[in-house]
Amino acid sequence: MIDIKDLSVKVESTAILKGINLNIGPGEVHVVMGRNGSGKTTLAHTILGNPNYQITAGSINFEGKDISNLKTHERAKLGIFLGFQNPVAIPGVPVGNFLRTAMRNIYGDKYSAKELRAQIKDEAKKLNIDDNTLRRYLNDGFSGGEKKRLETLQLRLLKPKLSILDETDSGLDVDALKRVADSINELRNSSRSFLIITHYRKMLDLIKPDKVHVLIDGKIIKVGNLSLADLVEKEGYDSLIVDSV
């Protein structure tokens, strides 16, 4: 699905990622863990083509195609989705209008306006998002939990091939966390992949990832299965740094 090779990225003049290698196959769920400031969010935004992040070396191939020079909206149309850690508020743009616009851009003319509205309403209901929320302005005055729920709703509506979820589980109560995990598990199939950035072991129990990567100081220092997350939780990242040295 996505093949990242020797990826180095800088922001302004600061090197953040220093030779990342990551390959996620169709249907696989990978998790990236790491300390704050280690480069996890940079990796996510670089895959989406955020203009603030400059690739200095390496490549990103999606379904066999180099996407390094594609614009962000073109990557989204290919089926790459980023669930934001802290999505920006856009006052004046109602949630419902935004969702319809996004779906129209992703799906083209596949659905009529009426069908789009019905899908939005249906999926919103599953996440306990009411009609009033759909009329509110995008993330404007939303609590942390409401923002995360709206990101999850977009995930369900846009049904991307590769979903990158940047700490979508942070700050959620147990029920909300379960709803996010349920959405991931529901969408998960042989052609959809996930890259999940998280600090929390609980999320991993619910989604049971195929691989866990530990990212420290811009480099992936360890790859393993769920037991690697157990090790991190038990002994912290320092023990892994010592091992890798």
Question: Which residues sit at the interface with other proteins, rule CB under 8 A?
Answer: 48, 50-51, 71-73, 76-77, 81-82, 84, 87-88, 90-93, 98, 101-102, 105-106, 137, 154, 158
CB of 76 to other proteins, least distance (A): 4
Instruction: Note whether 184 and 19 are within 8 A (CB).
Output: no
CB of 186 to other proteins, least distance (A): 20
CA distances from 185 to 34, 63, 179, 207 (A): 23, 22, 10, 6
CB of 160 to other proteins, least distance (A): 10
Q: Which residues contact 242 (CB under 8 A, 6 or more apart)?
A: none
In this complex, which beta carbon is closest to other proteins, that of residue 129 or of residue 204? 129
In this complex, which beta carbon is closest to other proteins, that of residue 82 or of residue 204? 82
In this complex, which beta carbon is closest to other proteins, that of residue 139 or of residue 193? 139
CB of 245 to other proteins, least distance (A): 37
Q: Are strands 193-197 and 162-166 parallel, antiparallel or unpaired?
A: parallel
Placement of tokens 């083509």 in the chain: 49
Long-range pairs for 173-177 at CB < 8 Å and ≥24 separation?
A: 173/145, 176/145, 176/148, 176/149, 177/202, 177/203, 177/206
Placement of tokens 């306006």 in the chain: 113
CB of 105 to other proteins, least distance (A): 4
In this complex, which beta carbon is closest to other proteins, that of residue 17 or of residue 76? 76
In this complex, which beta carbon is closest to other proteins, that of residue 196 or of residue 240? 196
